[in-house]
Chains A and B, each alone.
Chain A
Amino acid sequence: MYEYRIEVKDLNTWFGEKHVLKNITCYFEDNSVTAIMGPSGCGKSTLLRSINRLNDLIPGFRLTGQIFFAGSNIYDPDRNVYELRKRIGMVFQRPNPFPMSIRENLTFGPRLHGIKDEDELERIVEDSLRKAALWDEVRDQLDSPAVHLSGGQQQRLCIARALSVDPPVLLMDEPVSALDPISAGKIEDLIVQLKKEYTIILVTHNVQQAFRVSDQAAFLYMGELVEFDKTKRIAVAPEDPRTEAFITGRIG
């Protein structure tokens, strides 16, 4: 097994009585982008949020099967979930910066995990912002409120915030769907940059976007993993008729 590769094995999840994910088995390669596509309500977010155990907090959520991260099952009863979430960053659909200054948004995570040295924090702030291609735009206003930034800048700040605790894996749940096309383009470029260093799992509604940025693609339909392969292959010749229907815009 690879150091950080994520593997999902026989995953089934329920919200109450509702069986949401059905027998999902797949893996996510290191230093590449895997897109999870599928129509609304098919379980994309649920799959993503199972990988950092964010679903655990929802009353009535139940899960069977395993998800391996760096070789060990993240659902082991004695697994430290806080340490896990530190190593699996997440970016949400709507930009959700904390109502604090830009700087505080980026020191929040590191401080939680015990980094107190101001120089070290300063370095993390700059590093994360540079990686998120935001440094040049905000370097002079680090102490102003994050919510004064534009939507696209806020989303890049959220990416920087996820990177601030130095996770090898980045989960992104439709990160550009709430943004204008120009901001969306910037973030797509950023994703392509980031995959050099990170394992990225990108949920998207947008087939063209998945084809542009991803290396592998998974197609979910009503909780089932219908197709999972290299993006190039799926783009040219989808195997399953449902995948074809989705990428040609007939469902979704």
Chain B
Amino acid sequence: MNRTDDEREREGTQAGRLWTVLSEGGTRLVALGGRARRLTRREVKDIVFKLLVALMVLIVVTPFFLLLARLLSVGLQDLVGSGPGQGWELIATLPGAALRGGVLNAIVGTTVLVLVATAVGVPLSVMGAVYINEYSRPGRVRTAIEFGADVLAGIPSIVFGAFGFTFLVAYLGLGLGALTGGLTLAFMMIPTVMRTTQEALKQVPSSLREASLALGATKWATTWRVTVRAALPGIVTGILLAVGRVMGETAPLIFTTGNNLGLPTGLVGPESWVASLPFTIWSYIMDPRPYLQVRAHSAALVLLMMVLIVDILANYASRRLTRRIV
């Protein structure tokens, strides 16, 4: 038998490999050091590559944890304390005199803005995507729209703020407030939601559409009852990711929402001016009063939690939907 060195080498490492598998993680390095001659090149490469990837992941996630640590180290006193605007009061009371109270105005404001943005942006983008994908012929118009949406999705949010101001506030005369701010956020959502919806629709095999048509379904019924339904988990995930993103936007709101230390009582006009969490965090952090510095950090924690809740909902909803239909 003419066995190559490599074969013999590989056999020799069977036990070694088992051992490596059993002692996961850090001990890999020891294995690498102690048995370097027994490991094949391929295995060494594998280990080096894995370490490299782990390092990358560490680099990617570190800023988030540093940020969280910073927010907690400053903001936690607001969450657990019992002074004015602390503990439950943080999320249940308005700022009040000298802004010593909570940030209820901003929580409500962000919720209202996101609801307006979703109510306007989602139907438009989903129907747009359905039209482009299911009804329009592939060609220049479709390519142009897709390209446009991709460009829009990459435009800095301050530009959307400026557009909201010049178009909605100045040109259409809507004034500042919840509707204007919500619409501006909707403009930001539309390109992303449209593209994610399109991607989800593209994943639906055309044989499903054909099966439906072959049963005598109209194009309309096929689109909504089969295609969109099959794509729903992907569509929902896209929507909720976009919601999570616009939730944290400050720039589009600076020129469009005004501000409010109380709650808005309308959708347009001066009584519709709203606060929002990002805007509030920004203005508190610019304020020299120490307790507002702290409040900015705790408000940021509140915003993080709201985004987290949307994220959990996103996961839950798309898993429920996936289980129901796939």
State whether these chains interact: yes
Q: Which residues of A contact B305 (CB under 8 A)?
A: none
Residue of A nearest to B138 (CB): A59
Residue of B nearest to A165 (CB): B215
Partner of B216, one of A85, A94, A96: A85
**B326:A145 contact, CB within 8 angstroms:** yes
Q: Which residues of A contact B218 (CB under 8 A)?
A: 82
Q: Contact residue range for chain B?
A: 20 to 34
**A82:B211 contact, CB within 8 angstroms:** no
Residue of B nearest to A95 (CB): B207
Q: Tell yes or no: A218 within 8 A of B by CB.
A: no
Partner of A54, one of B214, B217, B325: B214
In the complex, per-residue mask of A70-83: 1 if CB is within 8 Å of any chain B CB, else 0:
00000000000011
Report the Cα distance A32→B217, complex, angstroms: 27
The count of residues in chain A whose C-beta lies closer than 8 Å to any C-beta of chain B is 28
Q: Which residues of A contact B208 (CB under 8 A)?
A: 96, 98-99
Q: Tell yes or no: B212 within 8 A of A by CB.
A: yes
Q: Tell yes or no: B150 within 8 A of A by CB.
A: no
Q: Which residues of B contact A113 (CB under 8 A)?
A: 216
A-B residue pair count with CB separations less than 8 angstroms:
68
**B215:A161 contact, CB within 8 angstroms:** yes
**B226:A89 contact, CB within 8 angstroms:** no
- Taking the closest CB of chain B, its distance from the CB of A9, in whole angstroms, is 23
**A86:B211 contact, CB within 8 angstroms:** no
- Taking the closest CB of chain A, its distance from the CB of B144, in whole angstroms, is 19
**A98:B212 contact, CB within 8 angstroms:** yes
Q: Tell yes or no: B41 within 8 A of A by CB.
A: no
Report the Cα distance A84→B213, complex, angstroms: 11
Q: Tell yes or no: B221 within 8 A of A by CB.
A: yes
Q: Tell yes or no: A21 within 8 A of B by CB.
A: no
Report the Cα distance A147→B208, complex, angstroms: 12
Q: Which residues of B contact A54 (CB under 8 A)?
A: 210, 213-214
Report the Cα distance A7→B325, complex, angstroms: 40
**B207:A108 contact, CB within 8 angstroms:** no
Report the Cα distance A84→B137, complex, angstroms: 25
**A89:B214 contact, CB within 8 angstroms:** yes
Contact A86 B326, CB 8 Å, known A54-B210, A59-B137, A92-B210: no
Partner of B230, one of A92, A98, A112, A162: A98
Residues 121-156 (chain B) with a chain A CB within 8 angstroms: 137
Partner of A112, one of B137, B205, B221, B324: B221
Residues 272-326 (chain B) with a chain A CB within 8 angstroms: 323-326
**A108:B216 contact, CB within 8 angstroms:** no
Report the Cα distance A161→B214, complex, angstroms: 11
Partner of B211, one of A83, A92, A112: A92
- Taking the closest CB of chain B, its distance from the CB of A64, in whole angstroms, is 23
Q: Which residues of B contact A86 (CB under 8 A)?
A: 215-216
**A109:B215 contact, CB within 8 angstroms:** yes
**A85:B213 contact, CB within 8 angstroms:** yes
Q: Which residues of A contact B323 (CB under 8 A)?
A: 145
Q: Tell yes or no: A251 within 8 A of B by CB.
A: no
Q: Which residues of B contact A164 (CB under 8 A)?
A: 215
Q: Which residues of B contact A216 (CB under 8 A)?
A: none
Q: Which residues of A contact B324 (CB under 8 A)?
A: 145
- Taking the closest CB of chain B, its distance from the CB of A165, in whole angstroms, is 6
**A99:B214 contact, CB within 8 angstroms:** no
**A94:B207 contact, CB within 8 angstroms:** yes
Residue of B nearest to A171 (CB): B214
Q: Which residues of B contact A92 (CB under 8 A)?
A: 207, 210-211
**B215:A83 contact, CB within 8 angstroms:** no
Sample 28 A-B pairs with CB under 8 A, ordered by A number: A59-B137, A82-B218, A85-B214, A85-B216, A86-B216, A90-B210, A92-B210, A96-B208, A98-B226, A99-B208, A99-B326, A100-B229, A100-B325, A108-B215, A108-B225, A109-B215, A109-B216, A112-B215, A112-B221, A145-B323, A145-B324, A145-B325, A145-B326, A147-B326, A158-B211, A161-B211, A161-B215, A162-B215
18 further A-B contacts with Cβ under 8 Å, apart from A108-B225, A145-B325, are: A52-B214, A54-B213, A54-B214, A85-B213, A85-B214, A86-B215, A89-B215, A90-B210, A90-B211, A94-B207, A109-B215, A112-B221, A145-B323, A145-B324, A158-B211, A162-B214, A164-B215, A165-B215
Can you list the 6 inter-chain pairs with the closest CB atoms, starting with the nearest? A86-B216, A90-B214, A109-B215, A85-B216, A96-B207, A99-B325
